[in-house]
Amino acid sequence: MGVNLWTVDLQTVALVQGTSTYTVPTTTLSMLDTYVSFSSGGTTTNRVIMPISRTEFSSYAQPNQQGFPTTYWFDRLLSPTVTVWPVPDSDLYTLNYYRVRQIQDSNFTNGQQPEIPQNWLEAFALGLASRLALIWKPEKASVLKSLADEAYQIAATQNIESSQFYISPQIGGYFRA
């Protein structure tokens, strides 16, 4: 039902000149903020790159054109991949992306707990109870479902980044070489 912040982490991939497609961990559900880093003279610079669709990527007349990557296509396969375009023209670039990853499977041994922050435990318990009630106690399912939905909404409301949001219409300096 959306991005859960505790399942977001940063991944880094060294880009190779002439290589456009890279494997992504199979636990990756989606890519969020994505940028390419490069170093010059001791200074590291990050440049945001934008996602494109499979259709848009397949419409490129020169998919093997080399240059500084500006876009990426995340292909959600069983073994997911990310394809950058233009194809890197240097080995000095690093692809960085925040991803939403799959939550740890439930295999509780030696007192392990589910991979869930404290403020989500009630939503988890009520959601599980609601699902189990569908099989074992159908007359209780609707009551538990409404309680589970309410607990989820409370936890989701608290699951936000606490940072300021700024809009700046003058971005001309970003595109200068």
**pLDDT at 132 > cutoff 80:** yes
**What does the domain layout of the chain look like in residue ranges?**
8-102, 118-158
Helix (H) or strand (E) holding 48: strand 43-48
pLDDT of residue 131: 92
- Report the residue count for the chain: 177
Of the pLDDT bands very low, low, confident and very high (cuts 50, 70, 90), residue 67 is: very high
Angstrom distances, CA of residue 137 to CA of 67, 81, 83, 151: 61, 43, 48, 20
Residue 86 structure tokens: 């233009």
pLDDT of residue 21: 96
Say how many CA atoms lie within 13 Å of 147 toward its Cβ. 15
Q: What is the pTM of this model?
A: 0.67
Strand partners, 43: 40
**pLDDT at 5 > cutoff 90:** no
CA pair distance 72, 92, nearest whole angstrom: 18
Name the DSSP class of 72: E
Q: 163 or 143: whose pLDDT is higher?
A: 143
Of the pLDDT bands very low, low, confident and very high (cuts 50, 70, 90), residue 119 is: confident
Name the percent of the chain lying above pLDDT 90.
57
- Closest CA relative to residue 66, chosen from 24, 16, 23, 11: 16
